Amino acid sequence: MLGKTSKKNKDLVILQAKRKEQVVRSLFFIFSLISIFTTLGIVFVLVFEAIGFFQEVSILEFLTDTLWTPLFYDKHFGILPLLCGTLLTSLIAMLVAGPLGLLTAIFLSEYASPRVRRICKPILEILAGVPTVVYGYFALLFVTPLLQKIIPSLSGFNALSPGIVMGIMILPLVSSLSEDAMYVVPQGLREAAYALGSTKMEVSLKVVVPAAFSGITTSFILAISRAIGETMLVTIAAGQMAQLTFNPLVPIQTMTAYIVQVSLGDTPAGSLEYKTIFAVGLVLFLLTLILNLVAQWLRKRFREAYE
């Protein structure tokens, strides 16, 4: 009798555990569906509204015209000036964040003591938590006047200042992900290189960095995606002059800044001018999607598996 009671209690416990597991699994499944349908909803809205725009403006004009003046009397709908401004600020940001982030990652992974690493890494990641509007005013009111003392021809609104500050903003993304990739490289690879007479710098640059290449390149591409999608910083400090130029000293306008300009303005909803933000948003979405797909491909293509 006692054995039967014990078996029933055990079966009851197992049944309750299975029910709890089923509930948790169902919750996770619901959350996954919410994420999927949210993404599909965003894509649907962008595509639906963009179709209305392209019914009035040809795709050829949109992709090849060098003027972007949808809010002017003489209307032009060429995305190239906005695309150029976005890529220019992102390029400047990566020229800052790329080398500094990689060097920081190498220091934290290979040179810093465990105590220094525990202290410096969280402090560095605080940069990622600063609101972007703060970075925008920092670029406009501090970095730009400082650069104007060195470059007198620098305009009050320009691509250089927000690009540099954006590089500082995405620095933790590059350094943290790159350092994580280097940190998991097996210690045996380092010891083998030291046994062959390599110096610490040679081990860092010729052994650890190549072994962590997939993680490093992924961090770079994700940082570029973050820079392309940045909004408030470039809206505040880069200006609202859409012009096709690669000169970082003059005002430019990015795709995100234009979306903010129209969204906060007096443009009537449903008008052609209003629909331009969805066409621009669709291009922005496709850019970030392509970059994320490239990041995933690089991670799978160059990923090193260690046992």
Read off the pLDDT of each residue in 20-28 and give the average, rounded to a whole number.
87
Per-residue model confidence (pLDDT) at position 6: 64
The CA angle 71-73-74, to the nearest 5 degrees, is 100
CB 253 within 8 A of CB 82: yes
Nearest to 231 by CA among 277, 180, 189: 277
Q: What is the pLDDT of residue 273?
A: 86
Residues 6+ apart with CB under 8 A from 93: 163, 164, 166, 167, 169, 170, 223, 227
Please write the tens of the pLDDT for every residue from 235-272: 999 988 888 889 999 999 999 999 988 887 777 877 88
Give the residue with greater pLDDT, 145 vs 112: 145
Cα separation, 298 vs 217, whole angstroms: 7
* Whole-angstrom distance, CA of residue 69 vs CA of residue 261: 13
Three-state secondary structure call for residue 68: strand
Q: Which two tokens stand for residue 272?
A: 């052609």
Cβ neighbours, 10 Å, residue 232: 17
pLDDT of residue 2: 45
Judged against a pLDDT cut of 70, whether residue 160 lies above it is answered with yes
pLDDT at 305: 54
Q: Which is the CATH superfamily of the domain at 81-302?
A: MetI-like (1.10.3720.10)
pLDDT at 302: 66
76 neighbors 64 (Cβ within 8 angstroms): no
> Domain limits of the chain?
81-302
Its pTM stands at 0.86
Give tens-digit pLDDT for 207-222: 888 888 888 888 898 8
Q: How does residue 292 score in pLDDT terms, banded at 50, 70 and 90?
A: confident
pLDDT band per the 50, 70, 90 thresholds, residue 140: very high
**pLDDT (tens digit per residue) in 78-103:** 999 999 999 999 999 999 999 999 99
